[in-house]
């Protein structure tokens, strides 16, 4: 996994988002055991406390759970993952629409351009 982190937001939030994305993209499968905090921290080149904080937040969201003495695992609740995927997709769509409107495009313009792009992609 590529750990591309920057100074725009707290590192633990960026890590949380990257792991969420990997969960809904299928990089981490339902029920799969996550690497240890130390291994993930080393891989991401961050302090283990930072990684611990990110994983704690993922546990709060229900995407990750801990089994005592066994480690952390990805939830097997597919509906939770589907809900998260749709939420993240809606956020990306809203961001896209905002950016297009800043370019001066109307919703009809955006729709027309998207339909044109889809047609070209299919051919």
Output the pLDDT for position 34. 95
CATH number of 11-76: 1.10.10.10
pLDDT for 79 equals 93
pLDDT score for 14: 95
**Per-residue pLDDT, 71:** 94
Whether 13 and 4 have beta carbons less than 8 Å apart is answered as no
**What is the pLDDT at residue 122?**
85
Element at 89 (helix H, strand E): helix 78-102
| Cα angle 92-93-96, degrees, rounded to a multiple of 5 | 85
The residues near 41 (Cβ < 8 Å, ≥ 6 apart) are 47, 48, 50, 51
Using 70 as the pLDDT threshold, list the residues of the chain that sit under it.
Answer: 1
């Amino acid at each position: 996994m590529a750990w591309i982190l920057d100074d725009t937001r707290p590192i633990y939030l960026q890590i949380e988002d990257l792991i969420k994305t990997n969960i809904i993209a299928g990089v981490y499968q339902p029920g799969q055991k996550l690497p240890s905090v130390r291994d993930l921290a080393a891989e991401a080149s961050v302090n283990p406390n930072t990684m611990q904080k990110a994983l704690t937040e993922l546990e709060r969201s229900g995407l990750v759970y801990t089994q005592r003495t066994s480690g952390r695992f990805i939830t097997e609740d597919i509906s939770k993952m589907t809900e998260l995927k749709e939420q993240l997709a809606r956020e990306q769509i809203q961001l896209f629409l905002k950016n297009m409107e800043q370019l001066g495009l109307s919703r009809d313009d955006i729709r027309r351009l998207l339909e044109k792009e889809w047609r070209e992609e299919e051919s």
